[in-house]
DNA sequence: ATTCAGTTGTGACGCTATTCACAGGATAAG
DNA sequence: CTTATCCTGTGAATAGCGTCACAACTGAAT
């Protein structure tokens, strides 16, 4: 039905986020051997509206059938093509404390196009160990390993005060995307994309809104 | 300067998030013994605009001085009053794997008004141990411990398939806010506020936008 | 072949969040 | 006291995102 996909003008971050969610859902549909899916079904399972789903899917090169909805296999391919680099992207975890380990565990083999291939730390106790199938290197080796393994993304799970220096080292080595878990705002050049996962902020938001829906005690 | 703070009409989630960030910033200003701060300074340090900062602060009961800006101590108090329950809120971490441990470590003593007071798991290896000053109980005890310790918030760091049952147990015990780290959408009654921290989604977003700012190779 | 039910793709619209821009106000200097 | 400066608080304008609603379409049933 779609004729041609034109140059994607400024896609909204929200749309990319939702596409990622649809993509995950499609995996479970595939596993259940579902062949077609309607926008309202995706909507129901994700909590968005069907119009929202269709609007989001306009960004990817797909064509729903007006009678059967979307072909699960084809939609999967379309989102993959849109969302992922053809050859995949390599990721490093910087800071192998509890959080770093959790990230290694969590992402191990989760998305084939995004593989966590290295960990970095300064603590001699973890350097050179293999954690969850992932070799941990000393921070001194960021430059070499990032180049050799063609790492383009880094997840920062280091203490606040170490975050900016760690980011600088990663960027100098060629990393162009950072997922920062440290509670500080990073200064980076405009060619680097940073997303900040602020756990304290999330918890405080939940605390606030939980009180609102609650018995509304106090203020 | 402000005359009176009226009943807060539907505050935006974004505003609460930013207030939390301002609040954290104020801590560092206090430590550095800074007495006053302008909206444009807060803006600079957080990456928002000064108008945004002032607009956000309209929600809290404060009054900036047109010449000296905001009094750091007073602004801190005002945000605290607005954001936190007077008596604080207690938090539990459900699922004491790597991520759960990371959360225990991370939040230990970070915010006085939000104290993580219990962990829950089903694994006998961790049950009854004390991790980072926090006692870990068996999931069977959620009901009792939540009631006794007046826990109102839960952070779910369990595997996907365990997330919904765990949420149900917590809600039945009286929890009204959930921060969910499992990659599934939780079904909860409207009286419960859920926020979803989707690590896969965040990483995929960074991967996508890093490629955009990058050499723009492929599509 | 025709009708019918139910879906997609999308222009138009509406709502909400953010930014603009300025009146009003505080302080310091003269 | 007066002026100059530079801030806050906020109404109005703007922008960005999501929703509505409907024409176009598909396939099944008759």
Task: For chain A of 219 residues, list the mean pLDDT of each consecutive stretch of 10.
Answer: 51 97 97 97 97 97 94 97 96 97 93 95 97 96 98 98 98 98 96 97 97 59
CB contact under 8 A, B99 and A97: no
The answer to whether B47 CB is within 7 Å of strand C is: no
pLDDT for residue B8 is more than 90: no
The answer to whether A62 CB is within 7 Å of strand C is: yes
Average pLDDT over residues B112-133: 96
Touching check for B99 and chain A: CB below 8 Å? yes
A16 closest CB neighbour out of B13, B47, B205: B205
Average pLDDT over residues B9-33: 94
Query: B197 contacts in A (CB within 8 Å)?
Result: 197, 199, 202
Touching check for A21 and chain B: CB below 8 Å? yes
CB contact under 8 A, B16 and A176: no
Q: Tell me the CA–C1' distance in angstroms for A74 and C7.
A: 17
- Per-residue pLDDT tens over the stretch B48-87: 999 999 999 999 989 899 999 999 999 999 999 999 999 9
Q: Where are the alpha helices (DSSP H) in chain A?
A: 13-31, 39-46, 50-57, 72-83, 98-107, 142-148, 160-173, 199-213
What was the pLDDT predicted at A107?
95
Domain boundaries, chain A: 13-82, 89-202
What was the pLDDT predicted at B214?
64
The alpha carbons of chain A give a radius of gyration, in whole angstroms, of 20
pLDDT for residue B188 is more than 50: yes
Percentage with pLDDT > 90 across chain B: 88
Strand C nucleotides in reach of protein CB atoms, 7 A cut-off: 5-11, 16-21, 24-27
- Per-residue pLDDT tens over the stretch B151-160: 999 999 999 9
- Count of all residues that appear for chain A in the document: 219
Closest CA to B168 of B189, B196, B191: B189
The answer to whether A43 CB is within 7 Å of strand C is: no
- C-alpha separations of B97 from A39, A120, A144, A196, B123 in Å: 36, 21, 32, 23, 10
Dump the DSSP string for B150-215: TEEEEEE-S-HHHHHHHHHHHHHHT--EEEE-SSSPPP--TTSEEEE--HHHHHHHHHHHHHHHTT
CATH code of A13-82, in short, is 1.10.10.10
Nearest residue (Cα to C1') for D8? B66
Residue B109's pLDDT band, with cuts at 50, 70 and 90, is: confident
What was the pLDDT predicted at A215?
52
Residue B215's pLDDT band, with cuts at 50, 70 and 90, is: low
- Dihedral, A83, A85, A88, A89 alpha carbons, nearest 10: -90
pLDDT for residue B218 is more than 60: no
Superfamily (CATH H level) for B89-202: NAD(P)-binding Rossmann-like Domain (3.40.50.720)
What's the rounded Cα separation, in Å, for the pair B164 and A91? Answer: 30
Residue B5's pLDDT band, with cuts at 50, 70 and 90, is: very low
Query: A185 contacts in B (CB within 8 Å)?
Result: 45-47
pLDDT for residue B217 is more than 50: no
CB contact under 8 A, A153 and B190: no
**pLDDT mean across residues, chain B:** 93
Nearest residue (Cα to C1') for C26? B67
Q: Under a CB-based contact definition with an 8 Å cutoff, are residues B94 and B170 in contact? A: yes
Nucleotide nearest to A3 (CA to C1'): C9
A111 closest CB neighbour out of B194, B200, B208: B200
What was the pLDDT predicted at A9?
65
What was the pLDDT predicted at B10?
77
């Amino acid at each position: 039905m779609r004729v041609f996909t034109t140059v994607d003008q400024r896609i909204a971050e929200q749309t990319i986020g939702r596409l990622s969610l649809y993509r995950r859902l499609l995996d479970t549909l595939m596993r259940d051997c579902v062949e077609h899916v309607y926008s309202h079904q995706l909507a129901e399972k994700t909590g968005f509206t069907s119009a929202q789903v269709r609007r989001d899917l306009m960004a990817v090169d797909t064509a729903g059938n007006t009678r059967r909805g979307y072909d699960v296999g084809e939609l999967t391919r379309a989102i993959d093509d849109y969302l992922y680099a053809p050859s995949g992207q390599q990721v490093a975890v910087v800071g192998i404390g509890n959080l770093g380990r959790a990230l290694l565990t969590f992402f191990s083999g989760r998305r084939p196009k995004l593989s966590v291939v290295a960990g970095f730390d300064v603590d001699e106790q973890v350097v050179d160990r293999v954690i969850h199938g992932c070799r941990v290197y000393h921070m001194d080796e960021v430059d070499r390993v990032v180049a050799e393994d063609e790492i383009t993304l880094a997840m920062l799970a280091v203490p606040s005060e170490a975050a900016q220096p760690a980011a600088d080292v990663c960027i100098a080595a060629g990393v162009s995307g950072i997922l920062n878990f440290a509670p500080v705002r990073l200064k980076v050049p405009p060619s680097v994309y940073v997303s900040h996962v602020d756990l304290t902020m999330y918890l405080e938001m939940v605390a606030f809104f939980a009180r609102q829906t609650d018995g509304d005690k106090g203020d």
